[in-house]
Amino acid sequence: MPVKNSPKKRASFQLLAPGASQVCVAGTFNNWNPDARSLKKGKDDQFRTWMNLPTGTYEYRFVVDGEWREDPACQQHCPTPFGGNNSVLEL
């Protein structure tokens, strides 16, 4: 959980998604809203975004053309009540 009044740190998100038309990131930092943060597609098929977040621990997933996915580059995961895993970000 984020710590109130804590300093903010830059959190970067990227996902290689050839053929995808839209990639978003949803997590505890935006109330799991899949439309709150879109990633921009680069010429290399990498989708990227960043945001400044208060220090703390966050869970998140990517939403690729409506399909929820773990971050394959993230080393930390935790189980969800739906049978999959969330990716974990520590700032």
- 72 half-sphere exposure, CB direction, 13 A CA radius: 5
pLDDT at 7: 85
Return the pLDDT at 52: 95
Domain ranges of the chain: 8-90
Which numeric CATH code is attached to 8-90? 2.60.40.10
Give me the pLDDT at residue 9, please: 94
Rounded to the nearest integer, the mean pLDDT of the chain is: 93
Task: For the beta carbon of residue 26, count every other beta carbon within 10 angstroms.
Answer: 20
38 within 8 A of 26, measured Cβ to Cβ? no
Residues (pLDDT < 50) of the chain are: none
